Structure 1
Amino acid sequence: MRLHVGCAMWTHARWRGRFLPDQLPPEERLRAYATWCDAVEGNTTFYATPARGTVESWARQTGEDFRFVLKLPKTITHERHLTGAEEELRAFLEAIEPLGPRTHALWVQLPGSFGPADLGTLAAFLRRLPGSYRYAVEVRHRAFFEDERAAGRLEQVLAGAEWVPFDTTALFRSPPTSDAERDAWTKKPRVPRRSRALTDRPIVRYLGRDDEKRTIEGWGFWVGVVTEWLREGRSPTVFIHTPDNADAPALARRFHDEVRARVPELTPLPEPEPVEPLTLF
Protein backbone atom coordinates (compact mmCIF):
# COMPACT_ATOMS: atom_id res chain seq x y z
CA MET A 1 0.00 0.00 0.00
CA ARG A 2 1.65 3.22 -1.17
CA LEU A 3 1.04 6.92 -0.71
CA HIS A 4 3.53 9.01 -2.66
CA VAL A 5 4.22 12.57 -1.52
CA GLY A 6 6.31 15.34 -2.99
CA CYS A 7 6.89 19.00 -3.76
CA ALA A 8 6.67 21.39 -6.69
CA MET A 9 10.44 21.10 -7.32
CA TRP A 10 13.43 19.08 -6.13
CA THR A 11 15.78 21.95 -5.39
CA HIS A 12 15.30 25.30 -3.66
CA ALA A 13 17.76 27.87 -2.34
CA ARG A 14 16.29 27.66 1.17
CA TRP A 15 16.70 23.87 1.28
CA ARG A 16 20.51 24.07 1.16
CA GLY A 17 22.05 22.81 4.37
CA ARG A 18 18.60 21.75 5.66
CA PHE A 19 17.15 19.17 3.27
CA LEU A 20 19.93 19.03 0.68
CA PRO A 21 23.70 19.14 1.29
CA ASP A 22 25.04 22.66 0.89
CA GLN A 23 27.66 21.96 -1.79
CA LEU A 24 25.74 19.33 -3.74
CA PRO A 25 26.26 19.58 -7.54
CA PRO A 26 23.08 20.22 -9.55
CA GLU A 27 23.26 16.75 -11.14
CA GLU A 28 22.95 15.12 -7.70
CA ARG A 29 20.20 17.23 -6.10
CA LEU A 30 17.33 15.08 -7.33
CA ARG A 31 18.98 12.00 -5.81
CA ALA A 32 19.16 13.73 -2.41
CA TYR A 33 15.60 15.03 -2.70
CA ALA A 34 14.41 11.48 -3.44
CA THR A 35 15.49 10.42 0.05
CA TRP A 36 12.96 12.93 1.44
CA CYS A 37 10.07 12.47 -0.97
CA ASP A 38 9.12 9.83 -3.53
CA ALA A 39 7.35 12.06 -6.05
CA VAL A 40 7.85 15.44 -7.70
CA GLU A 41 5.93 17.77 -9.95
CA GLY A 42 7.59 18.34 -13.30
CA ASN A 43 6.83 22.05 -13.54
CA THR A 44 9.98 22.91 -15.51
CA THR A 45 8.74 20.92 -18.50
CA PHE A 46 5.94 23.49 -18.88
CA TYR A 47 8.50 26.08 -20.00
CA ALA A 48 10.66 23.91 -22.25
CA THR A 49 11.05 20.31 -23.34
CA PRO A 50 14.16 18.99 -21.56
CA ALA A 51 17.10 17.50 -23.41
CA ARG A 52 17.05 13.72 -23.46
CA GLY A 53 20.40 13.65 -21.66
CA THR A 54 18.90 15.70 -18.83
CA VAL A 55 16.05 13.23 -18.49
CA GLU A 56 18.52 10.34 -18.47
CA SER A 57 20.17 12.03 -15.47
CA TRP A 58 16.78 12.22 -13.71
CA ALA A 59 16.31 8.49 -14.26
CA ARG A 60 19.77 7.67 -12.90
CA GLN A 61 19.06 9.61 -9.70
CA THR A 62 15.75 7.91 -8.86
CA GLY A 63 14.43 4.42 -8.32
CA GLU A 64 11.75 2.92 -10.54
CA ASP A 65 9.07 3.49 -7.91
CA PHE A 66 9.72 7.26 -7.82
CA ARG A 67 6.87 9.25 -9.40
CA PHE A 68 7.22 12.14 -11.83
CA VAL A 69 4.03 13.99 -12.77
CA LEU A 70 5.23 15.89 -15.82
CA LYS A 71 3.47 18.99 -17.09
CA LEU A 72 3.01 19.20 -20.85
CA PRO A 73 4.82 22.17 -22.43
CA LYS A 74 2.87 25.43 -22.61
CA THR A 75 3.30 25.46 -26.37
CA ILE A 76 0.82 22.55 -26.44
CA THR A 77 -1.64 23.61 -23.74
CA HIS A 78 -1.56 27.41 -23.67
CA GLU A 79 -0.23 28.52 -27.06
CA ARG A 80 -1.61 25.89 -29.43
CA HIS A 81 -4.64 25.20 -27.22
CA LEU A 82 -4.30 21.43 -27.76
CA THR A 83 -4.55 21.66 -31.55
CA GLY A 84 -1.86 21.43 -34.23
CA ALA A 85 0.88 20.56 -31.73
CA GLU A 86 1.69 17.04 -32.91
CA GLU A 87 5.38 17.79 -33.49
CA GLU A 88 5.80 19.42 -30.06
CA LEU A 89 4.08 16.46 -28.40
CA ARG A 90 6.22 13.96 -30.29
CA ALA A 91 9.41 15.75 -29.23
CA PHE A 92 8.26 15.85 -25.61
CA LEU A 93 7.37 12.15 -25.49
CA GLU A 94 10.70 11.25 -27.07
CA ALA A 95 12.59 13.35 -24.52
CA ILE A 96 10.94 11.81 -21.45
CA GLU A 97 11.23 8.21 -22.64
CA PRO A 98 14.27 7.43 -20.41
CA LEU A 99 12.13 7.85 -17.29
CA GLY A 100 10.23 4.67 -18.10
CA PRO A 101 7.88 3.71 -15.25
CA ARG A 102 8.89 6.78 -13.25
CA THR A 103 6.55 8.85 -15.45
CA HIS A 104 3.51 8.42 -13.27
CA ALA A 105 1.29 10.70 -15.35
CA LEU A 106 1.44 13.36 -18.02
CA TRP A 107 -0.18 16.48 -16.63
CA VAL A 108 -2.36 18.60 -18.90
CA GLN A 109 -2.71 21.91 -17.06
CA LEU A 110 -5.23 24.11 -18.87
CA PRO A 111 -5.53 27.91 -18.63
CA GLY A 112 -8.40 29.58 -16.78
CA SER A 113 -9.92 30.56 -20.12
CA PHE A 114 -10.46 26.90 -21.04
CA GLY A 115 -14.13 26.37 -20.24
CA PRO A 116 -17.03 23.97 -20.94
CA ALA A 117 -17.30 25.15 -24.55
CA ASP A 118 -13.78 23.79 -25.17
CA LEU A 119 -14.44 20.22 -24.02
CA GLY A 120 -14.66 18.95 -27.59
CA THR A 121 -11.08 20.10 -28.16
CA LEU A 122 -9.93 18.32 -25.00
CA ALA A 123 -11.76 15.13 -25.98
CA ALA A 124 -10.12 15.10 -29.40
CA PHE A 125 -6.69 15.75 -27.88
CA LEU A 126 -7.00 12.95 -25.31
CA ARG A 127 -8.10 10.48 -28.01
CA ARG A 128 -4.90 11.17 -29.96
CA LEU A 129 -2.57 10.51 -27.03
CA PRO A 130 -0.66 7.20 -26.84
CA GLY A 131 -2.14 4.63 -24.50
CA SER A 132 1.23 3.87 -22.90
CA TYR A 133 0.91 6.74 -20.40
CA ARG A 134 -1.54 7.80 -17.71
CA TYR A 135 -2.97 11.29 -18.04
CA ALA A 136 -4.07 13.89 -15.50
CA VAL A 137 -5.94 17.09 -16.36
CA GLU A 138 -6.08 20.28 -14.29
CA VAL A 139 -8.77 22.85 -15.13
CA ARG A 140 -9.18 26.31 -13.62
CA HIS A 141 -12.41 27.64 -15.13
CA ARG A 142 -14.89 28.15 -12.27
CA ALA A 143 -17.77 26.62 -14.24
CA PHE A 144 -16.26 23.15 -13.78
CA PHE A 145 -16.43 23.62 -10.00
CA GLU A 146 -19.77 25.44 -9.71
CA ASP A 147 -21.90 23.90 -12.47
CA GLU A 148 -22.68 20.20 -11.93
CA ARG A 149 -23.54 19.73 -15.59
CA ALA A 150 -20.17 21.14 -16.71
CA ALA A 151 -18.36 18.98 -14.17
CA GLY A 152 -20.22 15.89 -15.35
CA ARG A 153 -19.37 16.59 -18.98
CA LEU A 154 -15.71 17.02 -18.09
CA GLU A 155 -15.68 13.70 -16.22
CA GLN A 156 -17.15 12.00 -19.29
CA VAL A 157 -14.47 13.54 -21.51
CA LEU A 158 -11.67 12.46 -19.18
CA ALA A 159 -12.75 8.79 -19.50
CA GLY A 160 -9.77 7.16 -17.79
CA ALA A 161 -7.71 10.29 -17.17
CA GLU A 162 -7.60 11.83 -13.69
CA TRP A 163 -8.93 15.26 -12.71
CA VAL A 164 -6.22 16.98 -10.63
CA PRO A 165 -7.53 19.30 -7.92
CA PHE A 166 -5.38 22.26 -6.91
CA ASP A 167 -6.68 23.08 -3.44
CA THR A 168 -5.98 26.73 -2.60
CA THR A 169 -8.72 27.14 -0.01
CA ALA A 170 -6.24 27.39 2.89
CA LEU A 171 -4.40 30.22 1.15
CA PHE A 172 -7.55 32.27 0.53
CA ARG A 173 -9.18 31.59 3.92
CA SER A 174 -7.65 34.74 5.41
CA PRO A 175 -5.60 37.70 4.15
CA PRO A 176 -1.94 37.11 3.23
CA THR A 177 0.70 37.74 5.88
CA SER A 178 3.96 37.42 3.90
CA ASP A 179 5.36 38.66 0.60
CA ALA A 180 5.17 35.16 -0.86
CA GLU A 181 1.53 34.84 0.19
CA ARG A 182 0.69 38.21 -1.31
CA ASP A 183 2.29 37.13 -4.57
CA ALA A 184 0.39 33.82 -4.51
CA TRP A 185 -2.89 35.70 -3.99
CA THR A 186 -2.39 37.40 -7.36
CA LYS A 187 -1.39 34.26 -9.28
CA LYS A 188 -3.05 31.14 -7.87
CA PRO A 189 -6.54 30.01 -8.92
CA ARG A 190 -9.36 30.68 -6.47
CA VAL A 191 -11.78 27.81 -7.09
CA PRO A 192 -13.85 25.56 -4.80
CA ARG A 193 -12.18 22.44 -3.46
CA ARG A 194 -12.91 19.20 -5.29
CA SER A 195 -12.03 15.70 -4.07
CA ARG A 196 -13.71 13.12 -6.32
CA ALA A 197 -11.19 10.56 -7.64
CA LEU A 198 -11.84 9.24 -11.15
CA THR A 199 -9.11 6.57 -11.25
CA ASP A 200 -7.13 4.31 -8.92
CA ARG A 201 -4.20 6.81 -9.05
CA PRO A 202 -5.62 10.15 -7.85
CA ILE A 203 -3.31 13.18 -7.70
CA VAL A 204 -3.76 16.13 -5.31
CA ARG A 205 -2.01 19.50 -5.28
CA TYR A 206 -2.44 21.25 -1.93
CA LEU A 207 -1.32 24.84 -1.26
CA GLY A 208 -0.99 25.85 2.37
CA ARG A 209 0.41 28.98 4.04
CA ASP A 210 3.86 30.16 5.01
CA ASP A 211 2.75 29.58 8.60
CA GLU A 212 3.30 25.87 9.31
CA LYS A 213 0.40 25.60 11.74
CA ARG A 214 -2.08 26.97 9.20
CA THR A 215 -0.75 24.62 6.53
CA ILE A 216 -1.22 21.59 8.77
CA GLU A 217 -4.68 22.70 9.88
CA GLY A 218 -5.68 23.20 6.24
CA TRP A 219 -4.75 19.73 5.08
CA GLY A 220 -6.87 17.89 7.64
CA PHE A 221 -9.57 17.40 5.01
CA TRP A 222 -7.08 15.69 2.69
CA VAL A 223 -5.73 13.41 5.39
CA GLY A 224 -9.24 12.01 5.69
CA VAL A 225 -9.82 11.75 1.94
CA VAL A 226 -6.46 10.10 1.26
CA THR A 227 -7.03 7.64 4.09
CA GLU A 228 -10.31 6.55 2.48
CA TRP A 229 -8.69 6.28 -0.94
CA LEU A 230 -6.05 3.96 0.46
CA ARG A 231 -8.67 1.80 2.14
CA GLU A 232 -10.46 1.59 -1.21
CA GLY A 233 -7.29 0.23 -2.80
CA ARG A 234 -6.24 3.42 -4.58
CA SER A 235 -2.62 4.64 -4.78
CA PRO A 236 -2.66 8.45 -4.43
CA THR A 237 0.04 11.05 -4.95
CA VAL A 238 -0.09 14.27 -2.93
CA PHE A 239 2.02 17.36 -3.56
CA ILE A 240 2.44 19.82 -0.70
CA HIS A 241 3.03 23.48 -1.57
CA THR A 242 3.38 26.64 0.46
CA PRO A 243 3.80 30.11 -1.04
CA ASP A 244 7.54 30.17 -0.27
CA ASN A 245 8.05 26.36 -0.28
CA ALA A 246 10.81 26.82 2.31
CA ASP A 247 9.75 23.79 4.39
CA ALA A 248 7.92 21.78 1.73
CA PRO A 249 9.94 18.51 1.98
CA ALA A 250 9.45 18.27 5.74
CA LEU A 251 5.77 19.16 5.41
CA ALA A 252 5.26 16.50 2.73
CA ARG A 253 6.76 13.90 5.07
CA ARG A 254 4.56 15.11 7.93
CA PHE A 255 1.48 14.72 5.75
CA HIS A 256 2.56 11.15 5.00
CA ASP A 257 3.10 10.52 8.72
CA GLU A 258 -0.42 11.77 9.56
CA VAL A 259 -1.97 9.44 7.01
CA ARG A 260 0.19 6.52 8.18
CA ALA A 261 -0.98 7.11 11.75
CA ARG A 262 -4.46 6.21 10.45
CA VAL A 263 -3.27 3.50 8.04
CA PRO A 264 -0.38 1.73 9.85
CA GLU A 265 0.17 -0.76 7.02
CA LEU A 266 1.16 2.09 4.70
CA THR A 267 4.68 1.69 3.26
CA PRO A 268 7.00 4.20 5.03
CA LEU A 269 9.04 6.81 3.22
CA PRO A 270 12.83 6.36 2.85
CA GLU A 271 15.12 7.76 5.50
CA PRO A 272 16.41 11.21 4.49
CA GLU A 273 20.06 11.57 3.59
CA PRO A 274 22.02 13.23 6.43
CA VAL A 275 22.76 16.90 5.77
CA GLU A 276 25.70 18.86 7.08
CA PRO A 277 24.71 22.33 8.30
CA LEU A 278 25.64 25.41 6.31
CA THR A 279 29.02 26.89 7.17
CA LEU A 280 30.45 30.36 6.65
CA PHE A 281 33.75 29.09 5.21
Structure 2
Amino acid sequence: MRLHVGCAMWSNTAWQGRFLPHPLPPGERLRSYATWCNAVEGNTTFYATPTRSTVESWARQTAPGFRFVAKLPKSITHDRRLTGVDEELRSFLEAIEPLGPRAHALWIQLPASFGPTDLGALAGFLHRLPRSHRYAVEVRHRAFFDDARSERLLKGVLAGSDAEWIPFDTDTLFRSPPTSDAERDAWAKKPRVPRRAFALTDRPIVRYLGRDDTARTVEGWQPWIGTVAGWLREGRSPTVFIHTPDNADAPMLARRFHDDVRALLPGIEPLPEPVPVEPLTLF
Protein backbone atom coordinates (compact mmCIF):
# COMPACT_ATOMS: atom_id res chain seq x y z
CA MET A 1 0.00 0.00 0.00
CA ARG A 2 1.50 3.31 -1.06
CA LEU A 3 0.42 6.91 -0.47
CA HIS A 4 1.96 9.59 -2.67
CA VAL A 5 2.48 13.07 -1.24
CA GLY A 6 4.20 16.15 -2.57
CA CYS A 7 4.40 19.89 -2.99
CA ALA A 8 3.64 22.52 -5.61
CA MET A 9 7.30 22.67 -6.70
CA TRP A 10 10.57 20.85 -6.09
CA SER A 11 12.72 23.91 -5.42
CA ASN A 12 12.17 26.89 -3.14
CA THR A 13 14.67 29.40 -1.82
CA ALA A 14 13.43 28.80 1.73
CA TRP A 15 14.31 25.09 1.42
CA GLN A 16 17.98 25.60 0.62
CA GLY A 17 20.12 24.50 3.52
CA ARG A 18 17.02 23.12 5.30
CA PHE A 19 15.45 20.47 3.10
CA LEU A 20 17.79 20.65 0.12
CA PRO A 21 21.58 20.80 0.29
CA HIS A 22 23.02 24.24 -0.44
CA PRO A 23 24.57 25.07 -2.79
CA LEU A 24 22.94 22.62 -5.17
CA PRO A 25 22.85 22.95 -8.98
CA PRO A 26 19.33 23.39 -10.40
CA GLY A 27 19.73 20.12 -12.29
CA GLU A 28 20.08 18.19 -9.01
CA ARG A 29 17.32 19.78 -6.93
CA LEU A 30 14.57 17.44 -8.09
CA ARG A 31 16.71 14.43 -7.18
CA SER A 32 17.10 15.77 -3.63
CA TYR A 33 13.43 16.74 -3.34
CA ALA A 34 12.49 13.19 -4.36
CA THR A 35 14.02 11.91 -1.12
CA TRP A 36 11.49 14.02 0.80
CA CYS A 37 8.38 13.41 -1.29
CA ASN A 38 7.30 10.87 -3.90
CA ALA A 39 5.17 13.21 -6.02
CA VAL A 40 5.21 16.79 -7.31
CA GLU A 41 2.83 19.13 -9.08
CA GLY A 42 4.08 20.01 -12.54
CA ASN A 43 3.15 23.69 -12.43
CA THR A 44 6.04 24.83 -14.60
CA THR A 45 4.49 23.22 -17.68
CA PHE A 46 1.50 25.58 -17.37
CA TYR A 47 3.62 28.51 -18.50
CA ALA A 48 5.48 26.83 -21.35
CA THR A 49 5.98 23.38 -22.82
CA PRO A 50 9.42 22.19 -21.62
CA THR A 51 12.09 20.95 -23.96
CA ARG A 52 12.44 17.21 -24.28
CA SER A 53 15.97 17.40 -22.85
CA THR A 54 14.61 19.14 -19.76
CA VAL A 55 12.05 16.40 -19.24
CA GLU A 56 14.75 13.77 -19.75
CA SER A 57 16.62 15.42 -16.87
CA TRP A 58 13.50 15.14 -14.67
CA ALA A 59 13.24 11.45 -15.49
CA ARG A 60 16.91 10.83 -14.68
CA GLN A 61 16.50 12.43 -11.25
CA THR A 62 13.50 10.36 -10.17
CA ALA A 63 12.57 6.70 -9.78
CA PRO A 64 9.89 5.20 -12.05
CA GLY A 65 7.46 5.15 -9.12
CA PHE A 66 7.74 8.91 -8.55
CA ARG A 67 4.60 10.80 -9.64
CA PHE A 68 4.38 13.96 -11.74
CA VAL A 69 0.96 15.52 -12.17
CA ALA A 70 1.83 17.71 -15.13
CA LYS A 71 -0.36 20.71 -15.85
CA LEU A 72 -1.36 21.32 -19.46
CA PRO A 73 -0.06 24.64 -20.85
CA LYS A 74 -2.31 27.67 -20.40
CA SER A 75 -2.28 28.16 -24.16
CA ILE A 76 -4.47 25.03 -24.29
CA THR A 77 -6.66 25.48 -21.21
CA HIS A 78 -6.98 29.25 -20.81
CA ASP A 79 -6.08 30.96 -24.09
CA ARG A 80 -7.76 28.51 -26.48
CA ARG A 81 -10.16 26.98 -23.93
CA LEU A 82 -9.57 23.43 -25.24
CA THR A 83 -10.56 24.30 -28.81
CA GLY A 84 -8.30 24.08 -31.86
CA VAL A 85 -5.32 22.94 -29.79
CA ASP A 86 -4.23 19.78 -31.60
CA GLU A 87 -0.75 21.08 -32.46
CA GLU A 88 -0.06 22.49 -28.99
CA LEU A 89 -1.28 19.27 -27.39
CA ARG A 90 0.87 17.12 -29.69
CA SER A 91 3.96 19.15 -28.83
CA PHE A 92 3.24 18.85 -25.11
CA LEU A 93 2.69 15.09 -25.22
CA GLU A 94 5.90 14.58 -27.20
CA ALA A 95 7.85 16.73 -24.72
CA ILE A 96 6.75 14.82 -21.61
CA GLU A 97 7.17 11.38 -23.16
CA PRO A 98 10.52 10.75 -21.38
CA LEU A 99 8.69 10.75 -18.03
CA GLY A 100 7.19 7.39 -18.92
CA PRO A 101 5.27 5.97 -15.92
CA ARG A 102 6.21 9.00 -13.81
CA ALA A 103 3.55 11.01 -15.68
CA HIS A 104 0.85 9.90 -13.27
CA ALA A 105 -1.85 12.16 -14.70
CA LEU A 106 -2.15 15.14 -16.99
CA TRP A 107 -3.77 17.99 -15.13
CA ILE A 108 -6.35 20.10 -16.93
CA GLN A 109 -6.79 23.22 -14.79
CA LEU A 110 -9.64 25.31 -16.18
CA PRO A 111 -10.19 29.05 -15.63
CA ALA A 112 -12.93 30.30 -13.33
CA SER A 113 -14.87 31.51 -16.37
CA PHE A 114 -15.11 27.95 -17.75
CA GLY A 115 -18.61 27.00 -16.67
CA PRO A 116 -21.45 24.58 -17.34
CA THR A 117 -22.08 25.96 -20.84
CA ASP A 118 -18.51 24.95 -21.74
CA LEU A 119 -18.91 21.28 -20.81
CA GLY A 120 -19.34 20.33 -24.46
CA ALA A 121 -15.84 21.63 -25.19
CA LEU A 122 -14.45 19.67 -22.23
CA ALA A 123 -16.23 16.48 -23.29
CA GLY A 124 -14.94 16.78 -26.85
CA PHE A 125 -11.42 17.51 -25.68
CA LEU A 126 -11.33 14.56 -23.27
CA HIS A 127 -12.74 12.26 -25.96
CA ARG A 128 -9.90 13.18 -28.36
CA LEU A 129 -7.10 12.63 -25.84
CA PRO A 130 -4.91 9.54 -26.22
CA ARG A 131 -5.70 6.70 -23.83
CA SER A 132 -1.98 6.30 -23.07
CA HIS A 133 -2.36 8.85 -20.24
CA ARG A 134 -4.64 9.39 -17.27
CA TYR A 135 -6.36 12.77 -16.93
CA ALA A 136 -7.55 14.92 -14.04
CA VAL A 137 -9.58 18.12 -14.23
CA GLU A 138 -9.69 21.08 -11.85
CA VAL A 139 -12.64 23.47 -12.18
CA ARG A 140 -13.14 26.79 -10.45
CA HIS A 141 -16.54 28.00 -11.68
CA ARG A 142 -18.89 28.32 -8.68
CA ALA A 143 -21.78 26.63 -10.48
CA PHE A 144 -19.99 23.28 -10.28
CA PHE A 145 -20.00 23.62 -6.50
CA ASP A 146 -23.29 25.42 -5.85
CA ASP A 147 -25.64 23.93 -8.44
CA ALA A 148 -26.44 20.22 -8.17
CA ARG A 149 -27.32 19.86 -11.85
CA SER A 150 -24.04 21.44 -13.01
CA GLU A 151 -22.07 19.23 -10.63
CA ARG A 152 -23.89 16.15 -11.91
CA LEU A 153 -23.24 17.08 -15.55
CA LEU A 154 -19.53 17.64 -14.87
CA LYS A 155 -19.24 14.30 -13.11
CA GLY A 156 -20.89 12.65 -16.10
CA VAL A 157 -18.43 14.21 -18.54
CA LEU A 158 -15.47 13.15 -16.41
CA ALA A 159 -16.78 9.64 -15.85
CA GLY A 160 -17.24 9.21 -19.59
CA SER A 161 -13.47 9.56 -20.05
CA ASP A 162 -12.36 8.00 -16.74
CA ALA A 163 -11.01 11.41 -15.70
CA GLU A 164 -10.65 12.51 -12.08
CA TRP A 165 -11.96 15.73 -10.50
CA ILE A 166 -9.13 17.42 -8.57
CA PRO A 167 -10.41 19.30 -5.51
CA PHE A 168 -8.44 22.36 -4.45
CA ASP A 169 -9.26 22.68 -0.76
CA THR A 170 -8.78 26.32 0.29
CA ASP A 171 -11.19 26.21 3.21
CA THR A 172 -8.46 26.56 5.84
CA LEU A 173 -6.96 29.59 4.08
CA PHE A 174 -10.25 31.49 3.98
CA ARG A 175 -11.49 30.46 7.42
CA SER A 176 -10.03 33.61 9.02
CA PRO A 177 -8.35 36.80 7.77
CA PRO A 178 -4.75 36.60 6.50
CA THR A 179 -1.91 37.37 8.90
CA SER A 180 1.11 37.54 6.55
CA ASP A 181 2.00 38.99 3.18
CA ALA A 182 2.00 35.52 1.63
CA GLU A 183 -1.47 34.81 3.04
CA ARG A 184 -2.78 38.16 1.78
CA ASP A 185 -1.43 37.35 -1.67
CA ALA A 186 -3.08 33.92 -1.56
CA TRP A 187 -6.38 35.49 -0.49
CA ALA A 188 -6.27 37.67 -3.60
CA LYS A 189 -5.36 34.88 -6.03
CA LYS A 190 -6.67 31.51 -4.85
CA PRO A 191 -10.19 30.24 -5.59
CA ARG A 192 -12.71 30.33 -2.77
CA VAL A 193 -14.69 27.15 -3.40
CA PRO A 194 -16.25 24.55 -1.08
CA ARG A 195 -14.32 21.43 -0.14
CA ARG A 196 -15.16 18.38 -2.24
CA ALA A 197 -14.04 14.98 -0.92
CA PHE A 198 -15.02 12.26 -3.35
CA ALA A 199 -13.16 10.12 -5.86
CA LEU A 200 -14.39 9.39 -9.38
CA THR A 201 -11.54 7.01 -10.25
CA ASP A 202 -9.08 4.67 -8.58
CA ARG A 203 -6.44 7.45 -8.57
CA PRO A 204 -7.83 10.47 -6.70
CA ILE A 205 -5.72 13.63 -6.46
CA VAL A 206 -6.09 16.27 -3.73
CA ARG A 207 -4.64 19.77 -3.52
CA TYR A 208 -4.78 21.19 0.01
CA LEU A 209 -3.84 24.77 0.92
CA GLY A 210 -3.24 25.55 4.57
CA ARG A 211 -1.81 28.58 6.37
CA ASP A 212 1.71 29.73 7.12
CA ASP A 213 1.10 28.61 10.71
CA THR A 214 1.83 24.87 10.99
CA ALA A 215 -0.74 24.17 13.70
CA ARG A 216 -3.56 25.70 11.66
CA THR A 217 -2.45 23.83 8.55
CA VAL A 218 -2.45 20.49 10.38
CA GLU A 219 -5.81 21.25 12.01
CA GLY A 220 -7.31 22.04 8.61
CA TRP A 221 -6.25 18.82 6.93
CA GLN A 222 -7.76 16.53 9.58
CA PRO A 223 -10.87 15.69 7.48
CA TRP A 224 -8.59 14.50 4.69
CA ILE A 225 -6.82 11.97 6.92
CA GLY A 226 -9.88 9.77 7.18
CA THR A 227 -10.88 10.34 3.56
CA VAL A 228 -7.46 9.35 2.20
CA ALA A 229 -7.24 6.35 4.56
CA GLY A 230 -10.65 5.26 3.34
CA TRP A 231 -9.55 5.47 -0.30
CA LEU A 232 -6.52 3.35 0.48
CA ARG A 233 -8.67 0.74 2.21
CA GLU A 234 -10.84 0.65 -0.93
CA GLY A 235 -7.80 -0.14 -3.04
CA ARG A 236 -7.49 3.34 -4.56
CA SER A 237 -4.11 5.01 -5.08
CA PRO A 238 -4.34 8.65 -3.90
CA THR A 239 -1.91 11.52 -4.38
CA VAL A 240 -2.05 14.49 -1.98
CA PHE A 241 -0.29 17.82 -2.48
CA ILE A 242 0.27 20.04 0.54
CA HIS A 243 0.54 23.81 0.03
CA THR A 244 0.89 26.79 2.31
CA PRO A 245 0.90 30.42 1.16
CA ASP A 246 4.69 30.73 1.51
CA ASN A 247 5.44 26.98 1.06
CA ALA A 248 8.44 27.45 3.37
CA ASP A 249 7.79 24.19 5.25
CA ALA A 250 5.90 22.30 2.55
CA PRO A 251 8.20 19.23 2.27
CA MET A 252 8.10 18.68 6.01
CA LEU A 253 4.33 19.16 6.06
CA ALA A 254 3.81 16.70 3.21
CA ARG A 255 5.74 14.07 5.16
CA ARG A 256 3.74 14.89 8.30
CA PHE A 257 0.50 14.34 6.39
CA HIS A 258 1.87 11.00 5.22
CA ASP A 259 2.72 10.11 8.82
CA ASP A 260 -0.80 11.03 9.97
CA VAL A 261 -2.41 8.70 7.43
CA ARG A 262 0.15 5.99 8.19
CA ALA A 263 -0.79 6.19 11.88
CA LEU A 264 -4.22 4.89 10.83
CA LEU A 265 -2.83 2.44 8.27
CA PRO A 266 0.59 1.16 9.42
CA GLY A 267 0.82 -0.99 6.29
CA ILE A 268 1.48 2.07 4.11
CA GLU A 269 4.97 1.98 2.60
CA PRO A 270 7.23 4.55 4.31
CA LEU A 271 8.67 7.51 2.45
CA PRO A 272 12.39 7.47 1.59
CA GLU A 273 14.90 8.94 4.02
CA PRO A 274 15.76 12.53 3.04
CA VAL A 275 19.25 13.33 1.83
CA PRO A 276 21.23 14.78 4.78
CA VAL A 277 21.66 18.54 4.62
CA GLU A 278 25.02 19.80 5.82
CA PRO A 279 24.77 22.72 8.23
CA LEU A 280 25.69 26.10 6.78
CA THR A 281 29.18 27.34 7.72
CA LEU A 282 31.05 30.60 7.34
CA PHE A 283 33.94 28.99 5.47
Q: TM-score, normalised by structure 2?
A: 0.99
Structure 1 residue 261, shift from structure 2 partner: 0.3
Q: Residues of 1 paired with 2:146 and 2:3: CA distance?
A: 29
Q: How many residues align?
A: 281
1:279 is aligned to 281
Q: Residues of 2 paired with 1:85 and 1:263: CA distance?
A: 43
**Secondary structure class of the residue paired with 2:69:** strand
2:28 is aligned to 28
1:187 is aligned to 189
Structure 1 residue 279, shift from structure 2 partner: 2.8
Matched, 1:162 2:164: yes
1:19 is aligned to 19
Q: Residues of 2 paired with 1:270 and 1:55: CA distance?
A: 23
1:215 is aligned to 217
**Secondary structure class of the residue paired with 1:170:** helix
Q: Residues of 2 paired with 1:198 and 1:148: CA distance?
A: 16
What do the CA deviations read for 1:164-218 (whole angstroms, capped 9, x no partner)?
Answer: 0000000000000000000000000000000110000000000000000000000
What do the CA deviations read for 1:225-266 (whole angstroms, capped 9, x no partner)?
Answer: 001101111110000000000000000000000000000100
Question: Within 5 A, what are the aligned runs for 1:51-90?
Answer: 51-90=51-90
**Secondary structure class of the residue paired with 1:68:** strand
Matched, 1:3 2:21: no
Contact 1:72 1:109 in 2 (8 A): yes
Q: Residues of 2 paired with 1:158 and 1:186: CA distance?
A: 29
Structure 1 residue 100, shift from structure 2 partner: 0.2
Structure 1 residue 55, shift from structure 2 partner: 0.2
2:125 is aligned to 125
Question: Within 5 A, what are the aligned runs for 1:254-269?
Answer: 254-269=256-271
Q: Residues of 2 paired with 1:14 and 1:126: CA distance?
A: 38
Contact 1:16 1:278 in 2 (8 A): no
Structure 1 residue 148, shift from structure 2 partner: 1.1
1:115 is aligned to 115
Q: TM-score, normalised by structure 1?
A: 0.99
What do the CA deviations read for 1:96-135 (whole angstroms, capped 9, x no partner)?
Answer: 0000000000000000000001000000000000000000
1:228 is aligned to 230
One of 201, 205, 208 as aligned partner of 1:206: 208
**Secondary structure class of the residue paired with 1:223:** helix
Q: Residues of 2 paired with 1:279 and 1:240: CA distance?
A: 31
Whichever residue aligns with residue 32 of structure 1, its letter is: S
**Secondary structure class of the residue paired with 2:171:** coil
Identity level (%): 78
Structure 2: gaps (5+ residues): none
Q: Which runs of 4+ in 1 moved over 4 A?
A: none
**Secondary structure class of the residue paired with 2:21:** coil
Q: Residues of 2 paired with 1:15 and 1:251: CA distance?
A: 12
**Secondary structure class of the residue paired with 2:241:** strand
